[in-house]
Structures are given as structure tokens and as C-alpha cells.
Structure 1
Amino acid sequence: MLSRFSRLLRTEALANTGSLARDLLASERTFLAWTRTGLGFIALGIALEKVEAFAQLAPQLLQLHNTEDTKIAAGALVGSGTLCVAHGTTRYFGSMRDLRAGVFRPNKVGVIGLAVGSLGLAFAGTLLVLQSDRKQHHERDETKDQKMVDSSRSRVRS
């Protein structure tokens, strides 16, 4: 079992001809960039979930009214980050295989996917914020209306 694992991790030596070494190092830097971006999304999702947990401990300090939306947003960020790291990993090994074969494939799917996913998250987040604000204003208006009704009833009784 251990020998299979070590064979999997062992890489073959490649001749340093032309720009192969430079291309492999660039591929590693790109992999690290994808990983860094994914970890940023994951960290933001975890931080958002922790803020929500702190809000439950001290609700007067942080006024988060809809914890379900916060959990959805945190899950979306963690999921996006995981997909980003997974794509970076598959892209790295695919690039190594392509470079050994002497070809190169541009990363259209990853770039377009990350852009569309980020825009989708931003749009969904904006909708959640607007919906939450609308609910808060509606609840405040209902509370004011109820207080006015209660005060008018108490005046009538007096």
C-alpha cells in the first residue's frame, strides 16, 4: 500500500528543453493561485458562519435577523472555495500531462466558471440583503401599527 502511494507521488524526470521547466513552474504558481482563491472563499464562509454563531450568543451586539440566509451564504462560499481548489488541482495535473505531450490548452472553463460563479454569488448575496432589509422594514411598520392600535384602544377605554 505504501509503495503504491510513493509511486503515485514520485514524478518522472523530464529533460529541461526549451521552456518546459518555466512552463511547469508557471503551472505550479497557477495551481497555488487557484488554491489561495479557494481557501479565501472557504475562510470567508467559515467566518460568516462564526459571526452568526456569535450573534446567537449576544444578539444585542450583532443584529442578524435571518440566520437561515447566513447559513446558506456560508455554505455557498465554502462550496465555491472547495470547487475552486478542486479545479485548480485537476487543472495542474492536466497541464503537467499536456506539457509532457508538448501541447497546451487554455483554461477557458475555469476562468469562465469562476467569473460566473462569483457574479452569481454576488447577485444572490445582494438579493438576500435586499430581502432581509425589506422584511425588517415590514416588521418595523407592523410593530408601529400595532402600537398605534393598542394606544388608541387604551385611550378609548379611558
Structure 2
Amino acid sequence: MFARFTRLFANEPLKNTGSLARDLLASERTFLAWTRTGLGFIALGVALEKVEAFAAIAPSLLRLENHNTKLAAGVLVASGSLCVAHGTTRYFGVMGDLKAGVFRPNKVGVIGLTAASIGIAFAGTLLVLENEGGRKNKASTAKAI
């Protein structure tokens, strides 16, 4: 049982022909970049959720008008998790391809991360504009009274 488990993580030595070692190391750096990006999204989502929790305790300090931050935090954490999962899958796929002497560009990952980042930025902009609109409406209502 233990031998079967250790075989999963065993690394067989590869011949360093051409640029295989350099390519594998570059693939590892790319994996680390995907992981760093994913963890950044996750950390931002967790921080946003903590701000929401703080606003619930002292709403007058932060003046948050809506509670869409839970949704935004969830989207950020999910996006970060997908980045980490894609980076891991991509790393092992590239390692197998390089051993076979082929390489496939990462079109799906690049397009997916770009679309997710643009979507998050757009949703964040809408959330900020909605919060600003709520503040202006409350301020004008308070002046009228």
C-alpha cells in the first residue's frame, strides 16, 4: 500500500537532451505563477469577507450600503481556486508533453484567466458605482430632511 503511494510521487530521472531541463523548470515557474495568482484572488476574497464582517459590527465606520460583498468574496475565492486547479493540471500536462517531445500552448488558461479577471473587474466597478450611488442618494435625502 505504501509502495503504491510513494510511486505516485516518485520522479524518474530524465535525460537532459536539448532544453528539456530548462523547459521543465520554466513550466514549474509558470505553475508557481498560476498558484500565486490564485492565492492572490483567494486572499482578496477572504479580506473582502472580513471587511463585510467588520461592517456588520460597526456599520457607521465603513458605511457599506449593500451586502453584495459576500457574493464578490465568493467569486474571488472560487476564481482563485480555479486558478490553482488549472495551474496544477497544466503543470502535469506540460510535464507529460515535454517528456513525449511535444508542447501545447495554453490557450484555454490564458483566455479563461483573462475573462475571469475582466469579469471580476467589471463586477467590482459596478459594485463600487452602486455603493457610491447609494451614498449620494442618502446624502441628498438627509439634506432634504
Do they superpose with TM above 0.5? yes
Superposition map of 1:113-124 within 5 A: 113-124=112-123
Q: Closer, same or farther in 2 for the Cα pair 1:55/1:137, shift >3 Å? A: same
Structure 1's unaligned 5+ residue stretches are 148-158
Identity percentage of aligned residues: 70
Structure 1 equivalent of residue 102 of structure 2: 103
Q: Distance in 2 between matches of 1:58 and 1:132?
A: 17
Aligned length: 145
The structure with the larger Rg is: 1
Q: Distance in 1 between matches of 2:119 and 2:15?
A: 44
Q: Distance in 1 between matches of 2:128 and 2:31?
A: 33
Q: Distance in 2 between matches of 1:89 and 1:43?
A: 19
3-state SS of 1:85 partner: helix
Deviation at 1:4, TM superposition (A): 2.2
Deviation at 1:138, TM superposition (A): 3.0
Structure 1 equivalent of residue 81 of structure 2: 82
Structure 2 equivalent of residue 36 of structure 1: 36
3-state SS of 1:61 partner: helix
Structure 1 equivalent of residue 69 of structure 2: 70
Deviation at 1:142, TM superposition (A): 4.1
Deviation at 1:62, TM superposition (A): 1.5
Matched AA of 1:65? E
Q: Distance in 2 between matches of 1:47 and 1:8?
A: 36
Q: Distance in 2 between matches of 1:5 and 1:26?
A: 27
Which has the larger displacement, 119-128 or 132-141?
Answer: 132-141
Q: Distance in 1 between matches of 2:111 and 2:29?
A: 19
Q: Distance in 2 between matches of 1:79 and 1:144?
A: 41
Q: Distance in 1 between matches of 2:64 and 2:55?
A: 7
Deviations 1:77-117 (A, max 9, x none): 10110010001000000000100110011111111111111
Superposition map of 1:44-59 within 5 A: 44-59=44-59
Structure 2's unaligned 5+ residue stretches are none
3-state SS of 2:133 partner: helix
3-state SS of 2:37 partner: helix
Q: Distance in 2 between matches of 1:101 and 1:108?
A: 20
Q: Distance in 2 between matches of 1:64 and 1:32?
A: 35
3-state SS of 2:109 partner: helix
